[in-house]
Amino acid sequence: MIRAGIIGGGGYTAGELIRILMNHPEAELTTVVSNSQAGKPVSSIHQDLAGETDLVFADKPSGKEDVLFLCMGHGQSKVYLEENMPGEHVRIIDLSQDFRHREKAQIGNRNFIFGLPEANHEAIRSAGNIANPGCFATSIMLALLPLAAEGRISEDVHIHGITGSTGAGQSPSATSHFSWRNNNISAYKVFTHQHLTEIRETLHAFSHHTGELIFIPIRGDFTRGIYVSAHTRFEGSQEEAVALYERFYKDQAFTHLSRDPVHLKQVVNTNKCLVHVQVHENTLLVTSIIDNLLKGASGQAVQNMNLMFGFPEQSGLMLKSSYF
């Protein structure tokens, strides 16, 4: 058993991490740190855990952890590590964007590996520190990686992605308020979303011959899930596209090609990504769906932990979707 701690324990991603780690066969969750909630029962904030844990929020790690998950806001992980760097034996999995980009992937003597298992499987196995990908980035990269690996992105890629309200985090804002979000839909950060940098860097690692990514992110009026559709020019048949994607994902634990059109209820509450491809004349449409809090955040973080410590990749992550 390894000992795990969470820094920044009050938000949505931390709540999902707690739920997974409490039931993980190879890990013991020993510490959940939250300065604002220190001394309170964890179940008083994460009320879905009522009756399941006696854990109390701490104000600092115990010092006995083997792995720390950083679940703080963007910019806060770097500050935390500058002030509270753990011992070299402690592995770190950061869920913010602080260390995702190549020029920012190091702090002190710690180098962070980009934690998309479908792209960096072997590097993650030997990593001491992981920068967990963003949620939109995960869904988009998994839609496009097979094309990049074959050098088949020669022209611009047009991407639409719709995300649930939990993607905005737990702190209330004007655009996450129920009365605004319900029965509503809107675009935001059009063409400039912060996840584009990590997407481009990952695709370029497979092929430098990629077109421009034209991304329209959309706020959905549902709670969780991401539905991405991307289309680009493709010189090939439907059968060729299916074979290309099946070949790329044949050994992956959580990303699968679906022969049928996909919908969010297939993946919500799971660590799965389902991908569907459709060729029309000279255009390929790729649809990619994930749960933004699991494969897009906490589930993928545990998947990375499993790889880092040599556990079966699916340990603790065999979760059933909320299909009905």
* Element containing residue 187 per DSSP (H, E): strand 186-187
> Among the CATH numbers 3.50.50.60, 3.30.450.20, 3.30.360.10, 3.40.30.10, which is that of 135-290?
3.30.360.10
User: What are the CA-CA distances from residue 311 to residues 23, 78, 250 (Å)?
Assistant: 14, 28, 20
Cα 8 versus chain centre, distance: 17
Token pair 């854990």 in the structure block, residue: 55
Yes or no: say if 23 and 316 are a contact pair by the CB < 8 Å rule: yes
Residue 172: what pLDDT? 66
Alpha-carbon gap, residue 129 to 82, rounded angstroms: 15
**How is residue 314 written in tokens?**
């699916």
Alpha-carbon gap, residue 292 to 300, rounded angstroms: 10
Catalytic residue selected from 70, 130, 135, 230: 135
Alpha-carbon gap, residue 288 to 270, rounded angstroms: 14
* Fold for the domain defined by 2-132+297-308: Rossmann fold (3.40.50)
Cα 237 versus chain centre, distance: 31
Token pair 């939109």 in the structure block, residue: 136
Angle at 18 between CA 196 and CA 58, to 5 degrees: 105
71 a catalytic residue: no
Residue 279, SS3?
Answer: strand
Angle at 191 between CA 189 and CA 193, to 5 degrees: 50
Residue 170: what pLDDT? 67
Q: Give per-10-residue mean pLDDT for the chain (324 aa).
A: 96 95 97 94 95 95 96 94 95 97 94 98 97 97 97 95 84 74 91 93 86 94 96 97 98 97 97 98 97 98 98 97 87
Residue 179: what pLDDT? 79
Classify residue 272 by its DSSP letter.
-
Yes or no: say if 20 and 300 are a contact pair by the CB < 8 Å rule: no
Residue 168: what pLDDT? 66
Residue 204, SS3?
Answer: helix
Cα 231 versus chain centre, distance: 22
Report the DSSP beta bridge partners of residue 31. Answer: 5
Residue 210: what pLDDT? 73
Domain boundaries defined on the chain: 2-132+297-308, 135-290
Residue 169: what pLDDT? 65
pTM (2 decimals)? 0.95
